[in-house]
Every structure is written in structure tokens, then in C-alpha cells.
Chains A and B, each alone.
Chain A
């Protein structure tokens, strides 16, 4: 049986076919049917735009700026979301105290925080980071909490019988490793949400650079080929981050999970 042909191992032939067909279809559609560079720039238009943006050097600066916003937001989320999630997952009283507050704040869409982000932090990189933080902290918080809630009781009791008795060491040696798959899932969702919030946060002009900022900028200049270049960059970098994350997780942290899933 083709048991080793899992979803992760796709044949590169199919990839090549589907990409080539899409590009051809796109080129024909824009050159012969739409025939308007403003409505739909063609593949070759986009490649040309990419080369000129790349050689001008702004693309690199935009990518770095966006990654910085992304890192500020996601870093803050980890710094706050994980410890807080551990506390409400492990200590029932903290849960009762904070759960109503979290449930009230959580449904507010992250983008609704943009006015306050600007009022509090001005048009700064941190302001963009803050909006990304709001978007990504809840998936991390909730998943950490769920992970700690669902630590099997027998692991905790086995740990206690073996001399792991304080709350701190139980968290460190039993609950945290046991909850790690949940944390990883939360982090992955958070990176997706953070990447989405990034575009919106940057559109409000918190800095002169950034992938989201440039999309709006070139839209105002009616240079839709450049807009498309930045859209595709957002897609590719998002894909790359997710790939890095999955690869890293599978290689190191979650080797023991292989037999648990499926």
C-alpha cells in the first residue's frame, strides 16, 4: 500500500503542472480578456514590477520592517499569553478571577483596537506591534490554558509519587511538556492571525515602510502591479513562516507525538 504517500509528500510533478497552468491562465486572462493593467496586471507585469522593486532596495526594507512588527507583536503575545495561560489553566482561582475579563475582551476584533493603539503609542512600530499582539495573544492564551486543563491526572499523580511535588516543578516537568502540543497549535494559529493583523495595522501608516503599508501606498498611486507584488510577498513569507514552524516542531519538540496523533 502507498502508506508513505501522505499529504506531506506531494509529487513535485503535480506542483509544477498546477503552477504552470495557473500562470498561463493568468497571463492569457490579463493580456487577451481583461486587457487592462489597472484591473489585472499580468504575470509578466508583476515579475517586472518585482525586479524593479527588488533592485530599488525598498522591498527588502519593507520585509524587514514587517518582520519587526510581527516579532514585536508575537513576542509580546508569547511573553504574556503563555504565563497567563499557565496560571489560569493550573490555578482554579486565577481562572475564576480572569475568565470573565478574557471572555469580554476576546470577541473584540483586533482591528477595533487600532484607534487606541494610535492614541496610546502614536504612529510607531510599537503601535503596529500592539495590534498584532491583540490579535495573536488570545489563540496562545486559550491554547495554553486548554493544554494545562487537559493534562491527564495520572501524569500529575505519577509525578507526585516520584518526588515531583511542588506546583512549580509539576508545571515545569509534567504539565508544560504534556501541554506542548496544545501550545504549538496555539502558536501556529497565532502566527496566522498576526500576519493578517499586520497588514491592517500597517495600512494606517504607523511607519513609512512595511508590506501592508506599501500595498495601500501603491494602491493610492494606482500602481496595481506593485500592489500585487506585495500581496504575493505577504503570501510567500506567511507560507515560509508556517513551513519553518512546522519543520522545527516536527524535528525537535514533538518527536514523541508521532505515535499519539492519527
Chain B
């Protein structure tokens, strides 16, 4: 479960001075079950906006998003999201943060604790279940955020630059962990990032977007078998290709 059908999405923004700006222009994309797709592109290409539309947090001007054939009309537990900034509820412990989704679905206290434990274990934070978010490092917080999103067992997991605030080493470690979580839980993951390296390391396909208005520049399949070696020649080649696609598209936009 977790196929996504994005058809002809457009989105207008009204600037403060009243001028309408086309943020996303006719984006269509098919994503199959359990696929890992990254979105890269220069800032202003609408990749975060697109993710928010798929999440149901923003509404598209026209076009539609279908998840497993059902149109997305608003946020819901079938689609999980991990945000860029720290979004854990600071008044809840790690365990209660992860159990929040099941709690909202009316799952009994015992059942949702059991579910939460399963995902705490998956992200390796068993010792911290009673801690409050302020006691955790940035990487640990994002692991809890991933566990919290997974606890609702969504078919589709959206990630908006989830590792953007982490240092390089933690970031690489988190990428490896994310792939193992993806292997264990088998979800479709849509991943927005600024880092081409990250996109090449993680994805089945990379969607390169161009700015003003946001369009899909090209979709690059990544055929390197996992686990991927960041220093391997084919890895470097692919990274260079994607980088030049991004550079081209941002140059075009500035002309």
C-alpha cells in the first residue's frame, strides 16, 4: 500500500503586495508502492509546498493527489509527516509523543503503549522513553519524530528536510537508519532535501525541480544497489549529473 498519483497540480500564492505568484505549475508524477522518492531543487522550486499539498496541509489551486486511489482532502493518519523543525510536543515524554497518533485514533492505553514501544525499539531509543524532548539531541529528536509518524502505520511517509538541522556525521548515520526503518516497515517515502548526496544515497528515484514556477525538470532513477557507497565512482557520477540538472534549472530561472 502507498501508491501516489499526483496529477496536474498547480498552486498560486498571493504575495503581501497582492501580486499572485505561480508556485507550482502542472506537476504530475506517479509513485508506486514502497518506493523511496526524493525531491531536490533550488529554493523556491516548490518542493516543500508540493509535499504539504500531498500531506493535505495546503490545498492545490487545481489538480489532484490520490493515495491508493483515494483523494487527499486534508491531513489524516494514513499519511505521516516528519517536519524539518523540531515538532515533538515538549510537554509529552518520548513514549507519549510516539503514542499520540494511536491515542487520537482512540486506541486503548495499553495497546498504544505497546505500539509505541515497538517503534521506540525500531529507532533505538528504549532508554529514553521517559525523557522529555529537551533532554534529547537533535538526531534523537528526529528519530522520535520518525517513530511518532510511523506509530499510526501510515501507507505514505512524507519527510520535509528532516535531517537539515543535523551535523554531517549524525546526518549520514540517520540516513542509514532511515533505510533500515524503511526496510522493516515498508512504506512509500517522499523525501524533500537540499542535499543531492542525501538524495542519491537514499532514493529509488530523484525528482529534480526547477523554480519560478515550480516544475519537474526531470526524474532520475538511481540504479545503484544498496547499501550504497558514497565514494564509489557511479555514486559520484550520478551526484554530478543531478547537481548539473539543478544548476541548469536555477540558471534558467534567473535569466
Contact residues of A with B, CB < 8 Å?
A: 154-155, 157-165, 169, 173-174, 177-178, 180, 255-260
| Contacting residues, chain B, for A259 (C-beta < 8 A) | 132, 134-135
B85 touching A177, Cβ below 8 Å: no
Contact bitstring B53-87, A, C-beta under 8 A = 1, else 0: 00101000000000000000011110111010111
B88 to chain A, nearest CB (A): 8
The answer to the question of B23 belonging to the interface, with a C-beta cut-off of 8 Å to chain A, is no
| Contacting residues, chain A, for B75 (C-beta < 8 A) | 157, 160-161, 165
**Complexed CA–CA distance, A158 and B146 (Å):** 12
Q: Which residue from A155, A163, A256, A257 sits with its C-beta under 8 Å from B87?
A: A155
Q: Which residue from A157, A158, A174, A256 sits with its C-beta under 8 Å from B134?
A: A256
Given contacts A158-B83, A165-B74, contact A256 B90 (CB under 8 A): yes
The answer to the question of B109 belonging to the interface, with a C-beta cut-off of 8 Å to chain A, is no
A162 to chain B, nearest CB (A): 4
B151 to chain A, nearest CB (A): 8
| Contacting residues, chain B, for A164 (C-beta < 8 A) | 100, 104
User: Closest chain A residue to B81 by CB distance?
Assistant: A161
Q: Which residue from B91, B135, B148 sits with its C-beta under 8 Å from A162?
A: B148
| Contacting residues, chain B, for A155 (C-beta < 8 A) | 87, 89
Main secondary structure, interface of A, reads helix
User: Closest chain A residue to B135 by CB distance?
Assistant: A259
Q: Which residue from B57, B86, B133 sits with its C-beta under 8 Å from A160?
A: B57
A144 to chain B, nearest CB (A): 16
A180 touching B91, Cβ below 8 Å: yes
Q: Which residue from B74, B85, B105, B135 sits with its C-beta under 8 Å from A154?
A: B85
Give the top 4 A-B pairs by smallest Cβ distance, nearest first.
Answer: A259-B134, A163-B104, A162-B101, A163-B77
A177 touching B89, Cβ below 8 Å: yes
B112 to chain A, nearest CB (A): 12
Given contacts A154-B83, A154-B85, contact A162 B104 (CB under 8 A): yes
| Contacting residues, chain A, for B76 (C-beta < 8 A) | 161, 163, 165
| Contacting residues, chain B, for A260 (C-beta < 8 A) | 90, 134
**Complexed CA–CA distance, A50 and B77 (Å):** 65
Given contacts A163-B105, A259-B134, contact A157 B91 (CB under 8 A): no
10 A-B pairs whose Cβ atoms sit less than 8 Å apart in the complex: A157-B57, A157-B83, A161-B57, A161-B149, A165-B76, A178-B89, A178-B90, A256-B92, A256-B133, A257-B90
B57 touching A178, Cβ below 8 Å: no
**Complexed CA–CA distance, A163 and B89 (Å):** 15
The answer to the question of B193 belonging to the interface, with a C-beta cut-off of 8 Å to chain A, is no
User: Closest chain B residue to A177 by CB distance?
Assistant: B91
**Complexed CA–CA distance, A160 and B149 (Å):** 11
A163 to chain B, nearest CB (A): 4
B81 touching A158, Cβ below 8 Å: yes
Known A-B contacts: A157-B81, A162-B148, A173-B104. Give 13 more (CB < 8 A): A154-B87, A157-B75, A157-B87, A159-B89, A159-B100, A161-B57, A162-B100, A162-B104, A163-B101, A163-B104, A165-B74, A256-B134, A259-B134
| Contacting residues, chain A, for B90 (C-beta < 8 A) | 178, 256-257, 260
**Complexed CA–CA distance, A180 and B89 (Å):** 13
**Complexed CA–CA distance, A155 and B89 (Å):** 7
**Complexed CA–CA distance, A160 and B100 (Å):** 11
